Each structure stands twice: as structure tokens, then as C-alpha cells.
Amino acid sequence: MVPCDTCFLTLAIVSAFLIVSMDARSWDIAVAIGQQIDFFAQNKSQVGQALVSDAEELTGLAYDSITQTLYMSDVKDNKGSMLSTNLSNKDSEPFSMLNYENGTSISSIVFDPETRTLFWTDGLRETLMKMHVPSNGESIRPSMLHNLMMHNPHGIALDICNRYIYWTNSNSTVHSIERSRLDGSERSVIIDNNLYAVYGLAVDHTSAKLYWSDDIDTVKYKIERSNLDGTERETLQRGRYHLPVYLAVDNEAVYWADWTAKAVWRVKKNKGAKDEPDKFASYEKSHPSAFIKSIITRDNVGKPNCEAMLRVEKERQNHKATPASPMKSSINLTTSTKEMNSTTKAIQPCLNEGHYDEQKATCHCRNGFSGTRCETSVCHNYCVNGHCAVDSKGLPECTCTTAYNGERCERDVCDGYCLNNGVCSVSATGPSCKCENSSGSRCQYTNELDKFCSLYCMGTKEMLNSLSLTFCRCSELNETLSEGLITSEPLLQSTLILSVLLGVITVLSLVVAVLSYHVHKLRRRPRIRKRFVVSKGGVTPLTSRPQGSTDSCEITIENCCNMNICETPCFEPKLRATPTKSSSTKKEEKNSLLESMEGADSC
């Protein structure tokens, strides 16, 4: 039960409601978008329109075919409200049946004509609510049917004949379809595998089938159906670039609201191999910022032919395979074991090589399969692009085509592969890029492009008339250049100082090398040796060696200077020169040398 301080009921007129003239029974499909409700015939022609001027966003529609009353919900400032209006009177104005003061979000509505009860899912409160609506128009306080905390309920559908209510759970960790009796009993999960983001839901009372929409990876989608108990599941439609959020069915087709293309699509329930979805209505231009928040079909929400529906279900149950019993021939003889096994195989109730337990009347499925008849494979809708196989552990494993990769082959190999506006293509060897104004295997090198953009941004556009450089981000480039100049000033100073130091070191090195060379050369200069022949008396030097040995002698003088006996000046290196001596000392050394020549040791 909802606390009374969170809601209040009123029958006051809340807004203007303008209906374009139409017969209340002439429409087949109603679509809610923004403040507007459009009514269409099956041939796509629009037969009417209603505008709720005070509404912000209509988020749900339900219809009572007996009183021709249309119920709708509105979300305004996180306050949900329920409105009703009679379509048989074009001058009727909507009445407020329910106002929520606290945060709420009514996602989808259904109406049960037998008990005159409205059911809806509340996305913010995460509840499934119900409210009785008497025929006199007065409504009573709503109550909670189910607390769906942490489940994020969205789509809702009603099986009027079997008295079941269905809803979808689209929490990031809980993807399932549940059902219960209208009083909340017998709650159970009927489908909880191979669902990714299930939103739209509808019960087809003509074929006794349950339909739902599933957004696989924000790119791919599928429309599926099953029996009302979740068995015999099959995919009706799969495609790309649709986000199907709301779903409806009629006698011939399935309709869904696509939030990507802002359109309503439909496909035949018994589609052939070449049948493609048909765009029923488009709001891309008329309502570019709004989303379609509800679709209903009049044929499926009225009072259905329950006898025909139950008959279809009964025939389906009878058609299901049952355990084979020994068969007798026309002459009252039991058939052979071989014939009985052959018959049993023909009506084998367990699919995908499942084993049937006759005592328990159940199927034991092999790894990778589940369901009452082992009809559901873990590979069902698992691989987005590629082939799926069940591995030894019973888990799905994908083999991707060359254009996709990832665990489920969900990633296009070209996504983000080519840089700098390169065009990606895929071949047998993998992705490759076609570059423009760049180079490299992934168009990663943009030196020339940066150069062109620099010239373009500096104002030399007349030099680049042959190039389209409007994509150059001049403001960013100028910022980068300014930052580069500011950053380069300290670097320039450091470079100048370093260059001066290197120059000084080089000059000093050359000076040291030159000095070292000269010192080495002077050290290796040969010693000066002179030989003279003089008279033994020491009076006059001889110019040639005498023939005899008594009149002369030979003197060898090394490094002598300032001596009269020397015929030529001698050179003595300054580094080897002894300290300068006085002239008297030199004369004494000279006389001593001459006296020694006259001694016994001379010559």
C-alpha cells in the first residue's frame, strides 16, 4: 500500500485537451510522444490527434474499449500523474485521477476491463502498482502489487484470458521476464537467459504468444516471442541501429518504438524470409528532441476472443510430443522394438540430444542447453558477429569474422583504428587505412598536415588554395605555438651559455696542445759538439790537422759559449742554460781550460 502522504486523488480538470475530429472507433494504433497522441489506421494514415497542453511528457497509454476511455500518464518534475479522457466526445477534457507529490516515474500502463483495474510499472520506486477505476469515474487509492527493488521494471503486458500480468526487469545485473496472477500470487520468472536489455512487452491474444524487444549492445536489437509460459522461444526479427523501447501487436503485425531513428516500425508476425521491417511513422523532423513513450493497438487491448485463444493454447499443448507408449497393429499385435524406437525418435520430446526421463517426464539436457525440452542454447544470440560453439565446459565460444573482434564479436575492428580522419577498410589480412594529409599504417604521422595547418592558421591561405584545411583547429594550434615560445626562452638561454663554455674549453685545449708540442720538440734538440785542432802551445789555432803528433792536439767542446777558441757561435737552449755568471768567472774557466791542455793529460 502506498502511504497517503505520497499521493492524492482528484477529479479536477488539469489541462486543455484538443482532439482533432475523428471517430473513436476508427483508429488502430495510438502513439504518445511529448504532449501529443497520434491516432493511425493500419494503412499509416493519421485519423486523429490529441494534445495535452499542460503535460510535459506522456509516458504511458491504456484503453478501455467498453467506455472508449483513454488513460495516460505524465512525468513532470519527477511527479507522476494519471489522466483519463473519453474519446467518444471530442470536447471532453482530461481529468486527473492520481498525482504523486514525491519522485516517481510511470513507465507503462495496462487496463483490465474485467475488474476495471489499471496496472503500471514505476521505474523510480521500482514497484508494480494497481488501482481500481469504477465505471462512474471515481478511483480509489492505488496499492502495491509487487516490490521490484533492484530490478528496474519497465515493460508491462496483460493476459486478459488467463488472468496473468507480465513485466520486464532491465536492471544492469537482472534481465528477465516475470509473471504473476492479477492478485500477485504465483509469481515466477519465465525467461531469464540470453536477455541483454529487455524493455518492450506485449501479449498477443490472437496467437496466444508473448512478444518482447531486446537491445543487445546498443547497436543490435532483436524482437522475440514465445508461448505464454516462456516455452518455444524464437526470434522474429533482428537488426542493427534500432533501440526498441515500447512494443505492441495487432492481428497482423508487431510494432515497436525506435528511439534511435525516432520512428515506429512494424513487421509481419508471420514474416517471410524476404520481409523487412516497415517504417510506420517517423518523428525525426517533427519531434527531434522527444522520444516515443508508448504504443497501443486497439484490437489487442479490447475484449479479446478468449475462447479462440484458449483453443489455440489447447491445440498447442496437444501437439507437443509426449512419451511414446507401445503401439498395436491392426491385427492386435505389438509392434517390434525396432519400430517402437523409430517412432519414439520421431516424436522425441527432448531437443538437442537431450535425454528424456520417462519416470519423471523431464528432459536432462547436455552441456550448453537448457529449457523444458532443451530448446535453449547458451549460444542463442550470444555472438553478435560470428559463429558460436559450445566448449567442453558448456560455455559459449565465438569465432569472429575478420571485421569484428571481442568476446562476443561485438567490436568493429575499424572502430578507432585509423587516426587523423583516415578511412578504414577490412580485408582478409585485417584492417587497413587510407590516409589523407597523413601517413603511416594507421595514418598516425601528421607532420605535413601540421605544417599545412600552421601555414593556414598564420594567414597564408592564398598559398594553400588547392587544399581543404577548414578542419585545422587554429585556436588550439596558436595556443600550442604560444606555449612553445614561452617554454623555449629558458631553453634558449641555457643553450647559449653552454655554447660559450664549450668554445672556451676548445680554445684552452688548443693552447695546451700547441705548448705541449713545442716543449716536446725543444727537449729532443741534439747536443752541440765541436772539434778543434790547436797548436800545442795554444798560441794560434791550426786550420788543418798537422801530419805529426807532437805539434798539435784535438779538443772536443760541448755546449760552449763566449769562448774565443770557438770559431762559430754556439746555441744553448734557454731551458738548459745555467745561471748567468760574471765576466771574471768566465775568464778563470777559460784560463783553467787552456792550462789543462798543457798538462800531462792534454792532447
Residue 372 maps to a domain: no
Residue 347, judged by CB atoms within 10 A of its CB (0-12, 13-18, 19+), counts as: exposed
DSSP assignment of 342-373, as one string? HHHHHT-SS-TTPEEETTTTEEEPPTTEESTT
Residue 363 maps to a domain: no
Residues spanned by the domain of 306? 4-310
Residue 482 maps to a domain: no
Q: Are 139 and 120 in contact (CB under 8 A)?
A: no
Structural domain total, the chain: 1
DSSP assignment of 50-96, as one string? EEETT-S-EEEEEEETTTTEEEEEEEETTEEEEEEEETT-TT---EE
pLDDT attached to residue 129: 93
User: What CATH number did the domain enclosing 83 receive?
Assistant: 2.120.10.30
pLDDT attached to residue 455: 66
For the segment 447-471, the average pLDDT, to the nearest whole number, is 57
CB within 8 Å of 517: residues ≥ 6 apart: none
Residue 360 maps to a domain: no
Distance CA 238, CA 224 (A): 9
Distance CA 153, CA 601 (A): 137
Q: Are 34 and 57 in contact (CB under 8 A)?
A: yes
192-209 confidence digits (pLDDT tens): 999 988 999 999 998 899
pLDDT above 80 (res 122): yes
Q: Which residues of 11-30 are buried (b: 16+ CB within 10 A; e: fewer)?
A: eeebeebebeebebeebbbb
Nearest to 556 by CA among 536, 596, 529: 529
pLDDT attached to residue 345: 38
Q: Using DSSP, how many helices (H) and how many strands (E) does the chain show? A: 6, 38
For the segment 167-181, the average pLDDT, to the nearest whole number, is 91
CB within 8 Å of 515: residues ≥ 6 apart: none
Q: Are 148 and 194 in contact (CB under 8 A)?
A: no
Cell 516500425 belongs to 265
Distance CA 128, CA 122 (A): 6
- Predicted TM-score (pTM) of the model is 0.54
Residue 358 maps to a domain: no
pLDDT attached to residue 473: 60
Beta bridge partners of 189: 178
pLDDT above 70 (res 335): no
What region, left, alpha or beta, does residue 558 occupy, with left being phi > 0 and alpha being psi -120 to 50 degrees? beta
Which whole-number Å values give the CA distances from 543 to 537, 563, 593, in the listed order?
15, 18, 20
Q: What percent of the chain has pLDDT over 70?
A: 67
Beta bridge partners of 168: 177
End-to-end CA distance of the chain: 149
Residue 206 maps to a domain: yes
Residue 359, judged by CB atoms within 10 A of its CB (0-12, 13-18, 19+), counts as: exposed
In three-state secondary structure terms, 427 is: strand
Asked whether the CA dihedral 418, 422, 425, 427 is positive or negative, the reply is negative
pLDDT attached to residue 341: 42
pLDDT attached to residue 236: 93
* pLDDT tier at 308, thresholds 50, 70, 90: confident
Nearest to 552 by CA among 531, 572, 537: 537
Residue 378 maps to a domain: no
pLDDT attached to residue 6: 40
In the chain, helix, strand, coil percent, each to 5?
Answer: 20, 35, 45
* pLDDT tier at 327, thresholds 50, 70, 90: very low
Distance CA 157, CA 230 (A): 14
Tell me which of 50 and 341 has the higher pLDDT: 50
Q: Are 603 and 536 in contact (CB under 8 A)?
A: yes
For the segment 420-448, the average pLDDT, to the nearest whole number, is 83
Query: How many other CB atoms are there within 10 angstroms of residue 421's CB atom?
Result: 14
Please count the residues of the chain.
Answer: 603
238-264 confidence digits (pLDDT tens): 998 899 999 999 988 999 999 989 999
Here the contacts of 595-600 (C-beta below 8 Å, separation 24 or greater) are 597/534, 597/538, 597/553, 597/555, 598/536, 598/538
CB within 8 Å of 595: residues ≥ 6 apart: none
CB within 8 Å of 451: residues ≥ 6 apart: none
Residue 139 maps to a domain: yes
pLDDT attached to residue 12: 39
Cell 792550462 belongs to 595
